[in-house]
Amino acid sequence: MKNIYLDVKASIENLQNIFKNTDNENERLKKFNQEALEVFQKLERESLKELESLKNNEEWENFTIAFYGETGAGKSTFIECLRMFFKEQSKVVQQERFKRLYSNYQNNYQNDECKKQAILNELHSLQDGAIIGDGRSDFTLKTRSYSFQYNHQNFTLLDVPGIEGDEKKVIDQISNATQKAHAIFYVTKTPNPPQKGEEKKEGTIEKIQKQLDSQTEVWTIFNKPINNPRAFKDGLIDGSEKESLKILNKEMKNILGKHYKGYKAVSAQVAFYGLSSALIPGTDFDKNKQKFLKDFKARELLYQSHFQQLGEFIAEELIKNSRAKIIQSNCNKALKVVEQLQKAIEITIEKRIDPMIKEAQEYQHEARYNLDRSTDKFILNLTNSAFYEIDQFKSDLREKMYAHINKNIEDEECKEIFKNELIQGIETLHEDIKWRFRECEKRFDGEIKEAIKQLEYRIKDSLAMLERISIDRDFNLNFDTDSGIDGTKLATSIGGLGLLGIFNAWNPMGWLALTAGIIAGLVGIASSIWKFFSSRYQRSQQRKEVDKNLHQICEKIVQDVKSRLESRKKDIWEKIEKLKANLRPVDNYKRMKRQLKEAHERLRYISHSIHLIISKQGACNEE
């Protein structure tokens, strides 16, 4: 059972294993995992530091009660009174020594001033109340421990330095004492709730929340200052103080939850006058004691001050089942560390990871939308630019052929000229479409890179995580979007197009596969017919055949370009979808979230096992 802190520490250290990178070849992933690991390790270090401190301050043998509170609240007075009330051994020895020394002082040293002063100084250090502050800030700078045995039960009282003095001097003392304690008495001289801090300065309420929130049992002691016996006329506390204490109870309950148990109203100074028996006559302590003893017996002062009730509460309730309470308290402290780490993970996910995921998803969606829009625009531009060049090719070739026809050329010459002009025109068309496609691709490539750049910029700007975005900045589009026209094949096969004759049908192999021999068999009008017509009719007929053949050729080219673009469209979209799939700024955040949730789940198992121990000890306390 004493190894609980070590067990929890080992369990938390083992959580690091979930962040270990098994992909040693992926430098980028290794870097990200290292950054993710650092997020958790920062949380983990604080927890392990706290556990180590708890282990060093753990107390398993004696039930330990710490008196905690503002400087000058009367903590040391309570400790001194309890030492006398429970007859703490060192206090009994001290009182007996005081009495012997004082008797010796009276009988032997009244006329020796030198020795008299030395003995008086020693008497001051031995008299009751020597540990009580004299009004100076930070009278108690170190935690003092006092051991007791009552009804065969051992317990320890800790006199903790004040939390309102120069805390830099005593912060470690306060922390160690509260970690060692199994129950806390928060001592205050006012019935009012603890005050909140101001800007850049912690108040009492923040200190209590930070220093006592892992305690199993916390009580408030309202140490009412009473300087006159007549103050007991209406009881220890009045109605106004009771109302204030109700508010204090509520506030402390809000801070500490179920671990806050309530308040006790006591006057420690009056109790001191009822308990003290080793005082130097004529001192302030002695004079005040005699003043109260005029109206009350010493025993009555203990009841009037409610100290008798406090002592009985400690003896009969607080230290009852102390063994179970010790285990329960120490488990609670370990549990608090685990819960704080769990809470830190939850806050990290809620305040950091989830907003990252949400924003990255929005940016990713926008980037993918822009990629889709740019791709649609790119494909449309390819189609429109190809059709524009085909129309231009058709118009230019018609214009050239009409100019030749107007020169009254013969049919054979017309066919030959058309063939040559067609071959040259298609070569030019091929180059023009290819140039157009390259321009379209340049614009498209620029838009794609801009979409990626904007995604990176927005992620960097809002989350400062540019280097964690899982995209390849050197992504090469390389869509290989050729014009769809094979110039070489076209040049060798274009001679197979029928020019002036009536086409039976297009070669099923398409306009790139027409053979050179077809043109000879598709003359259209026999040479013997030409002699029956005038030159005007001949020119008209030639134009008609040119238009007819040119229209069919261009239709074939259009269909072929459409077919090629359609096949290219699939390739383009595949590349874009691959690019979109690689735009994954969300993945790394989700991975970190998954790892942190896995750590949280493992901590839940640790928490559950500690809860089982606490429940078992709680059942022992109820028996």
Average pLDDT over residues 393-411: 90
What local confidence, expressed as pLDDT, does residue 476 receive? 32
Give which of 444, 475, 476, 439 is closest to 370, Cα–Cα.
Answer: 444
What local confidence, expressed as pLDDT, does residue 16 receive? 66
pTM of the complete model beyond 0.75: no
- The answer to whether 81 and 271 are in contact (CB under 8 A) is yes
Residue 37 lies in a domain: no
More confident residue, 498 or 428: 428
- 361 with 465, same domain? yes
- 145 with 239, same domain? yes
Residue 619 has pLDDT above 80, yes or no: no
Domain ranges, residue 470: 357-589
Report how far residue 611's alpha carbon sits from residue 4's, in angstroms, rounded to the nearest whole number.
12
Number of domains in the chain: 2
Report how far residue 551's alpha carbon sits from residue 545's, in angstroms, rounded to the nearest whole number.
10
The pLDDT-based confidence of 516 (bands split at 50, 70, 90) is very low
Average pLDDT, the chain: 77
What local confidence, expressed as pLDDT, does residue 99 receive? 93
- 402 with 315, same domain? no
- 165 with 210, same domain? yes
The CATH number of whichever domain residue 147 belongs to comes to 3.40.50.300
Residue 590 has pLDDT above 90, yes or no: no
Residue 380 lies in a domain: yes
More confident residue, 471 or 244: 244
User: What are the pLDDT digits (tens) for 212-232?
Assistant: 877 779 999 999 999 999 888
Residue 598 lies in a domain: no
DSSP-derived pairing of the beta strands 144-150 and 153-159: antiparallel
List, as one string, the DSSP characters of 216-234.
Answer: S-EEEEEE----SGGGGGG
Average pLDDT over residues 37-55: 72
The pLDDT-based confidence of 485 (bands split at 50, 70, 90) is very low
Residue 385 lies in a domain: yes
- 576 with 460, same domain? yes
Count other Cβ atoms within 10 Å, centred on residue 539: 18
- The answer to whether 319 and 63 are in contact (CB under 8 A) is yes
- 256 with 312, same domain? yes
What local confidence, expressed as pLDDT, does residue 19 receive? 61
Residue 140 lies in a domain: yes
Report how far residue 377's alpha carbon sits from residue 447's, in angstroms, rounded to the nearest whole number.
10
Residue 344 lies in a domain: no
What local confidence, expressed as pLDDT, does residue 618 receive? 60
CA-to-CA separations, 147 to 64, 153, 154, in angstroms, rounded: 9, 11, 7
What local confidence, expressed as pLDDT, does residue 349 receive? 83
